[in-house]
Amino acid sequence: MSTRLILATRNQHKVTELRAILADAGLDVELVGADAYPEIPDVPETGVTFAENALLKAHALARATGLPAVADDSGLCVDVLNGAPGIFSARWSGKHGDDRANLDLLLAQLSDIAEPHRGAHFFCAAALALPDGTERVVEGRLLGTLRTAPAGDGGFGYDPILQPLGETRTCAELTADEKNAISHRGKAFRALAPVVKDLIA
């Protein structure tokens, strides 16, 4: 009988992505999203690092359900901004989840920064927490540079301005499969698979 594992998200794309990665790793795990437990409220992200936020969500779900839980937190880290927007990526402009306002504000802040200094990366911390308090955190990064104007219709968030190293296109110009193969979250989830295998599968 497979072990049930819960992922702290209501985003079905994330559930599908992690489910495929765990299957590729040969793990017999039944992965469900937070929608399977609608009575459990979303956990406020009050941590000051990606890892803290991921652990907060994973532990809260593990406690509430009695099941092993996975959570992730991610964002854009800009070199000349000392790693900002970082954990504030989704609310950089002051309003949570306004992708366009966040992107426009960041481009305005970097308007006089020359191309050689526009290095940035997407970062993801993924955490696994067990009901007994056991925890593990893994990380994934997608290195790149920031364009001066958005390009591409795919993806979300800051995808239209981050051009991965070695690429001529932005993340928003890549196909979903191309992006998943190199994405920070994909890397973190793939790093999580052996941890899941060791601890619960």
User: Which of 157, 152, 42 minimizes the C-alpha distance to 92?
Assistant: 157
Q: Which pLDDT does position 52 carry in this prediction?
A: 98
Kindly report, residue by residue over 135-182, the tens digit of the pLDDT. 999 999 999 999 999 999 988 899 999 999 999 999 999 998 899 899
DSSP string, the chain: -PEEEEES-S-HHHHHHHHHHHHHTT--EEEEEGGG-TTSPPPP---SSHHHHHHHHHHHHHHHHSS-EEEEEEEEEEGGGTT-BGGGGGGTTSSTT-HHHHHHHHHHHTTT--GGG-EEEEEEEEEEE-TTS-EEEEEEEEEEEE-SS---SSS-TTTTTEEETT-SS-GGGS-HHHHHHH-HHHHHHHHHHHHHHHHT-
Q: Is 169 annotated as a binding residue?
A: no
Each domain of the chain, given as residue ranges in start order, spans 3-199
Catalytic amino acids?
A: 73
Q: What is the CA radius of gyration of the chain?
A: 17
Q: Is 57 annotated as a binding residue?
A: no
Q: Is 82 annotated as a binding residue?
A: no
Q: How confident is the model at residue 201 (pLDDT cuts 50, 70, 90)?
A: low
pTM equals 0.93
Kindly report, residue by residue over 98-136, the tens digit of the pLDDT. 899 999 999 999 999 999 999 999 999 999 999 999 999
Burial (CB < 10 A; 0-12, 13-18, 19+), residue 123, is buried
Q: How confident is the model at residue 96 (pLDDT cuts 50, 70, 90)?
A: confident
Say which residue, 95 or 129, is predicted with more confidence. 129
Region 67-78: mean pLDDT is 97
Q: Is 184 annotated as a binding residue?
A: yes
Kindly report, residue by residue over 26-59, the tens digit of the pLDDT. 998 999 999 999 998 888 889 999 999 999 999 9
Check whether domain 3-199 has CATH 3.30.450.70, yes or no: no
Decide if 175 contacts 154 (C-beta within 8 A): yes
